[in-house]
Amino acid sequence: MNIIKSILFINLSLFSQLIAVEFVIYNTDNSMIPDNNVSRIAIDKNGNKWIGMESGDSALVIFNHNEWTPILTTPYWGIYDWVSSIIFDSNENIWVSTDGGGMTYFDSENKTVYNQSNSELPDDHVFDLELDNEGSLWISTEFAGLVKFDGQIWSFFNSSNSPLPDTSILDVEFDSNGIMWVATFNNGFAKYDNGTWHVFNSSNSILSDNNIFTLEIDSQNNVWLGSMTDGLIKITDGSLTKFNTNNSNIPHNWIRSIEVDDFDNIWLATNGGDLALLENDKNTFTLYQLPNIDWPANIINDITIDGLGNKWLGTNGGGLILFNEDEIKTSVLTTSKYVKNFHILQNYPNPFNSSTTIEYYVPFQSEVKVKLYNTNGNLVETIFTGIQNPGKHEINFLAKNLSSGLYLCRLEYVGQFTSRKIIFIK
């Protein structure tokens, strides 16, 4: 079976050129994926992709090196029991939730199902799972609010017994200070800090949409909210900033999934089938669209980033998509820390017409080379060669005798390399 491998086009704001980027599609026609409706994606420490489905012969499969292994099959599920969340605990045991089938816990030997009929779980419609710093599981339900389970004791939070404003909870996350942030379906979002609830909605904040579909937290404890009609909201030290189609180039106001990469860049999957990137400390989105060929689905349900910076997209009808804005990386480096710190950032300005700044990170002292290649793969110039210490480095590159066009800036380090596409305009 031939996996679809094609070209994605980037729509750069203020620049008319479309840049070709590689992507791969896995669907029921070209692979053993059991369903084209991919609801959730999670990646374990060994790089295995756990793929949750909305239907099909298997509701949960593991994908690794073109092998598909079914984990849960359809007799386990009811008609509405799509996979809503997949998380790993500190021992790499797995929790999986569904919208209608409760949740399942996998350890190395056993599978344990929790639902309304065999446990204190008050609702089989579970939207999200999250673990706090003490290892307790927090369960977002559709009709029964928020549930805490520490392995033995169940605790319940809803609009009747707490200030939690809604019984329909779509997402929950914890920041590095242990503060819990809760997204609700109808009543904005809530913050739970040391036993005290703070509620934010359209009556006391800049929110004009109380339907918060998803949320994510970056390494600086900025909270990012994805709404259903009002775009993206950033919370920094209690201050709210909004990005929607009225005040930015964000492609759609329904944000279905948010992912933060190693450098606090924000990746958005939208209900309109667009993928958008908001780079750290910038206010303009880079949009990834397909103007010349058919996009496999108009809804992206989920986005997950692996240790090599590849983006894995779960679509509503188009299968699983593997994408990288530079090039798809398949080599596996030794540790996740190594991957995280060996990286080249996007140059700025880009496009440029005289000079540009190139920044990159290396994890320990070694020889580093920065080279410039043309689109034919020919070496144009060696920008830098030398021994460098660990950390962030910066090069001011002055273009000499270059023709206008697209180039590849490549960082070489201890036998590995990574690259960025840069554009020069005379």
pLDDT of 45-79, one tens digit each? 888 999 998 865 678 999 987 788 988 765 444 44
Q: What pLDDT score was predicted for residue 298?
A: 67
Contact 278, 266 (CB under 8 A): yes
Q: To the nearest whole percent, how much of the chain has pLDDT over 90?
A: 51
128/215 same-domain check: yes
Confidence of residue 12 (pLDDT cuts 50, 70, 90): very low
Q: Mean pLDDT, to the nearest integer, of 159-168?
A: 95
* Burial of residue 369, with CB atoms counted within 10 A of its CB: 0-12 exposed, 13-18 middle, 19 or more buried: middle
Q: What pLDDT score was predicted for residue 342?
A: 67
Q: Mean pLDDT, to the nearest integer, of 19-42?
A: 82
As for how many domains the chain has, the answer is 2
315/398 same-domain check: no
Q: Mean pLDDT, to the nearest integer, of 123-136?
A: 94
> Please, which residues bridge with residue 388 across strands?
366
Q: What pLDDT score was predicted for residue 90?
A: 84
Q: What pLDDT score was predicted for residue 271?
A: 87
Domain endpoint, select from 256, 289, 323: 323
Per-residue pLDDT tens over the stretch 304-340: 998 788 899 998 888 898 888 776 666 533 333 333 4
249/361 same-domain check: no
269/359 same-domain check: no
144/190 same-domain check: yes
Supply the CATH number for residue 351's domain.
2.60.40.2550
The model's pTM:
0.74
For residue 123, give every residue at least 6 positions away whose Cβ sits within 8 Å of its Cβ, in sequence order, or none: 116, 141, 142, 143, 144
Confidence of residue 2 (pLDDT cuts 50, 70, 90): very low
105/252 same-domain check: yes
Q: Give the range of the structural domain holding residue 395, as residue numbers without chain letter.
A: 336-424
Calpha distance 333→204 (Å, rounded): 48
In a domain, 328, yes or no: no
Confidence of residue 196 (pLDDT cuts 50, 70, 90): very high
Confidence of residue 22 (pLDDT cuts 50, 70, 90): low
In a domain, 32, yes or no: yes
368/310 same-domain check: no
168/231 same-domain check: yes
In a domain, 331, yes or no: no
In a domain, 238, yes or no: yes
116/192 same-domain check: yes
159/243 same-domain check: yes
Domain endpoint, select from 289, 323, 357: 323
In a domain, 35, yes or no: yes
In a domain, 330, yes or no: no
Contact 118, 108 (CB under 8 A): no
Domain endpoint, select from 294, 323, 352: 323
29/127 same-domain check: yes
Contact 264, 286 (CB under 8 A): no
239/305 same-domain check: yes
Per-residue pLDDT tens over the stretch 231-243: 999 999 989 999 9
Q: Mean pLDDT, to the nearest integer, of 191-218?
A: 95
